[in-house]
Chain A
Amino acid sequence: MLQIKNLQAWIGDKPILKGIDLTVTAGEVHAVMGPNGSGKSTLASVLAGREGYDVTGGEALYNDSNLLDLAPEERAREGVFLAFQYPVEIPGVNSAYFLRSAVNAVRKHRGVEELDAMNFLKAVKSKMGELGLGEDFLKRPVNAGFSGGEKKRNEILQMTMLDPRLAILDETDSGLDIDALRIVADGVNRLRRDDNAQIVITHYQRLLDYIVPDFVHVLHDGRIIKSGDKSLAIELEERGYDWLIKKAA
């Protein structure tokens, strides 16, 4: 589904990603862990197409097309979803209107009939219940004045409605209490199928108790310095990152 080969990216005159190799196959969950500043969020941003990053080398093949050549909206329509670490507040834009526009942009691209207001509401309300979001949520402006937990649940709601092939969750666990974490993790787990994949970026092992990964990668200084299965995450929890970083040096 996704093949990242020797991906290098700079912000301004500073190299951040220094050669990432990562292959994600449908049905898999990959965790990308690492200390602050290792390049985790840059990787997520580059894959989603955020401006401000210069890709200086390597490539990312997504279902055989070159992901990095696509505009952000084209990536989204092709099934790439980034759950933002810091979801943006958009005052004045009604959540229902925004989400229906997004869902229909993706459906149109996939050649599926667009949802009218009624069918959209029916679909979204059942998902909102699962995520513990009240009815008033749809009337509120997107993320405006939301608590940290509400914003993250909103990301998961959008993900659920857009039904991506490849979901990238950028520190979705940060700032969540344990109940919210469980709700968010349940939302991700409900989405797991043989024909999609998730990349879970996190600083802490905690989230991986709930979203159990097939692979764990440790990012440090713009490179993946170690890959393993879920036991690697547990080892990191016990020993921290330093032993790996020393070993890599």
Chain B
Amino acid sequence: MSQAGTTTSALTPMEAFVAVEQNGMPQMPLRKAGLARFSDSGYPTLKDEDWRFTNVGPLTELPFRPILSESVQAIEQEQLDDVTFGQLDADRLVFVDGHFNASLSQIAEQSSGVTVSNLAGVQTEPNSVSAGDADPFIALNEAFFTDGAVIQIDDSQRLAKPVHLLFVTTASEEGEAAHIRNCIVTGANAQGTVIESHLSLGEAATVTNVVTESHIGDGANIEHIKFQDQSAKAFHLASLHSELGHDARYAFHSIALGARLSRNNLRMRLTQPGIECVLNGLYMLRGQQLADHHMIVEHAAPHCDSHEYFNGILDDQSRGVFHGRILVQPGSQKTDAKQTNKNLLLSDDATVNTKPQLEIYADDVKCTHGATVGEMDDDAVFYLRARGLDTATARRMLLHGFAGEIVERIRHDAVREELDRLVWNRLEALRKSD
């Protein structure tokens, strides 16, 4: 396994930050503000309402080791050939431990009005998203981010191919952390598909902390697929902050299969009329895994639709956490907000904490939510067996169907089909419990 480059072995974030200053990294005001906020807040605990069900204790016990420079031992192209979406026809940006790797990336020349690059390669400055979000991991990200992707699409332009952001962790020391910062900015009526995948090439208890801002222009239509399949010891923390223009369509899909602990903060602000925002997620967990989706969808304009669909399949002692807050501000009439969270438990020891939260300050709105936690439907298993399918096939078909409710919402054909096959194959690994 490759050895990551310069890592700090300092005990505290404050001490580690000395290396940031010595490295002369850009964006120092933002970084210092982030560090200061983290110094005040510290890591979240179970006493924090937003972290009630997700214990980051094991993460806080790891040495604090942000990876501030590139890995000395490069990874080979062959190591990426077989990864999920590795063969997808796309413009591909590869980041190794939070650092852009040009030789592994394949980016065709973009038409004028389209920028696909790494953050360090363009003069774009990330905004501070922390003004409206006190998440301590965002503060850490702002202090320590190294690189990330920048996708800019001007008015009426479209991505010729999907853009695949491939983030791989090669770090082998526990606590080594990649802080990644992405920006997606589009003009009016822009179109494109972005795939963001997070994988591990090692088994160590590493940390990925990614913050993504998306600013989607009026009438733009963007599909964003986030695929997280990190190692079973990894910690994955992610925040997505989106601002959407009027009549924008934004579909965000979160496929969470890996990591010991994964957290996705989704913060969607619908401040213009006519927006259609879909948050669509699937988590399939086993062992001691935990996947947490924590979203706030704020309707601050009339005539917007937001739909959240999250399905979870949980085996062994795994845990799923879902928090879905829909906030409808005064005046946001004709809001149509739907939210469902469905969970299938394959084991008596699996747990789900699901918390829908509707706050509605407008009177002419349609808001629904529903959450279910259950076991596999015996009647459905019998129905399939009564048609000649053996028990294992019947169960796998039902699980595949349950996951398929989410996967089928992905509009990009090649991505959807690859994910569908992957889910089918993974289901074989889940135990055939009775």
Enumerate chain A interface residues (CB-CB to B < 8 A). Answer: 48-51, 71-73, 75-77, 81-82, 84, 87-88, 90-94, 98, 101-102, 105-106, 109, 141, 158, 162
Contacts and interface: CB of A to CB of B under 8 A. Distances in A.
A92 B401 contact: yes
Contacts of B378: 51
B382 A72 contact: yes
A158 B400 contact: no
Q: Which of A101, A106, A158 has the most CB of B within 10 A?
A: A101
A94 B404 CA distance: 10
Contact of B386 (A48, A92, A93, A94): A48
Contacts, number: 81
Main SS at interface, chain B: helix
Contacts of A75: 386
B387 A93 contact: no
Contacts of A72: 382, 385-386
A73 B400 contact: no
Nearest to A52: B378
Contact of A106 (B383, B388, B400, B404): B388
Interface string B385-426: 111111101100110111111001000000000000000000
Given A87-B383, A105-B390, 17 more contacts: A50-B386, A72-B386, A73-B388, A77-B388, A88-B379, A90-B380, A90-B398, A91-B405, A92-B401, A92-B403, A92-B405, A92-B408, A93-B400, A98-B384, A101-B389, A109-B388, A141-B401
B15 interface: no
B377 interface: yes
Contacts of A106: 388
13 contacts: A50-B382, A71-B391, A75-B386, A81-B386, A92-B401, A93-B397, A93-B398, A93-B400, A94-B401, A94-B404, A98-B387, A102-B387, A105-B387
A71 B385 contact: yes
Interface of B: 377-380, 382-391, 393-394, 397-398, 400-405, 408
B402 A105 contact: no
B382 A51 contact: yes
B401 A73 contact: no
Given A92-B403, A92-B404, A49 B397 contact: no
Nearest to A82: B386
A72 B389 CA distance: 9
Contacts of B408: 92
